[in-house]
Amino acid sequence: MVIDIVIDMGSENIKILRRGSGLVLNEPALALVDKESKKLALNATGFRAKKVTSEMLDSCVPVHPIKNAAVSDEEIAVLLFKDFFEKINIQPTFFNRLRVIALVGCGLTYGDRKVIARVMKKAGASRTYVIDGLFSLYSYADVKRGFFVDLGGAAANMGFVSTDGLVAGCQSDLAGNALNELICNLADSKYSLVIGNRTAEKVKLASGGLNPEKGRYIPVNGKDKSGGGYITANISAADIARCIAELADKLALLINSVLVSLPEDDYNFVCKNGIHLAGGTANINGLPEYLAEKLKLKVCVVKDGEEAPAAGGVRFYEEKGFLKKLIK
């Protein structure tokens, strides 16, 4: 039996879609590893690892083996995917062959892609295709050509794709984590509050995005910057909106830099038809409209944007020659 899966590695979470079953896993690319063991021992992955307590950290250390869709620790990455495959009841054997399409950012080098293929082979895959996630978005949108922007947690991936493949594109860290960092800096500089990425994410989601209620404040718990223990500060939703606008302004400049590098015909096509926006960060209230105003372009939000890349990858299994034509 052949098992076909698509793995979206381009964001903070690893998403795995199984052909015929839909999305079967969506968990953080995080592993909890035993520090004292002479041999590498995996204690927990994904959400379970994220819930680690300070007591557990005495003997274990959290490791992110996948960063910006690239493998930063090959050995732990193999263990991570073996555990993920076990969670979704995939046990690759000689009789159960596993084929993998791994979706990555267009900024990854050939060497980075070879490492990902090697990790999948060690985790049990019989065959792995490492391709740009933009191809999968293109497949999902089912258009002849288009400009796609995938805003994940760890990276923003953007470019123009047609039947000829990727015409122009780039990868950047102007995504969800970068926005969280801006919120952390705001809490520190204006409210004397030290918070982490997880708290910043909650504040971002509760703020109302770029269209906050007038006079709205969000109570946030964190460490007192002066060292006086834990305190609660009321952070203005309007301040969070300014952080979002700051990131969106930089993102618009980057999108424009890719647009102007396109051939004239493709550039005119985008001017007429706009861009496709996907990913979890694209769901921030008011962001698509803000980008549309900045770019003076139509911005179409891809339906089910977080799952769209993985879902689009299934088409490569079902239509023979479609992926080969894009890559060529």
Q: Residue 53 domain-assigned? A: yes
Rg (CA), the chain: 21
The count of domains in the chain is 3
Q: Are residues 248 and 210 in the same domain?
A: no
Section 41-48 average pLDDT: 74
Q: Are residues 50 and 182 in the same domain?
A: no
Q: Residue 316 domain-assigned? A: no
The CATH number covering residue 233 comes to 3.90.640.10
Supply angle C-alpha 187, 188, 192, rounded to 5.
Answer: 95
State the residue range of the domain holding 45.
30-63
Confidence category of residue 56, pLDDT binned at 50, 70, 90:
low
Q: Residue 204 domain-assigned? A: yes
Q: Are residues 182 and 170 in the same domain?
A: no
Q: Residue 192 domain-assigned? A: yes
Is it the case that residue 43 has pLDDT exceeding 90?
Answer: no
Q: Are residues 185 and 55 in the same domain?
A: no
Q: Residue 151 domain-assigned? A: yes
Q: What is d(CA 179, CA 184) in angstroms, rounded to the nearest whole number?
A: 9
Q: Are residues 150 and 191 in the same domain?
A: no
* Report for 1-5, 30-34, 153-157, 294-298: range of highest mean pLDDT: 294-298
Q: What is d(CA 195, CA 180) in angstroms, rounded to the nearest whole number?
A: 10
Q: Are residues 163 and 285 in the same domain?
A: yes
- What local confidence, expressed as pLDDT, does residue 204 receive? 92
Q: Residue 123 domain-assigned? A: no
Give 43-51 contacts, CB < 8 A, sequence gap 24+: 45/79, 45/80, 45/83, 45/84, 45/87, 46/14, 46/83, 46/84, 46/87
- What local confidence, expressed as pLDDT, does residue 228 receive? 73
Q: Residue 327 domain-assigned? A: no
Q: Residue 81 domain-assigned? A: no
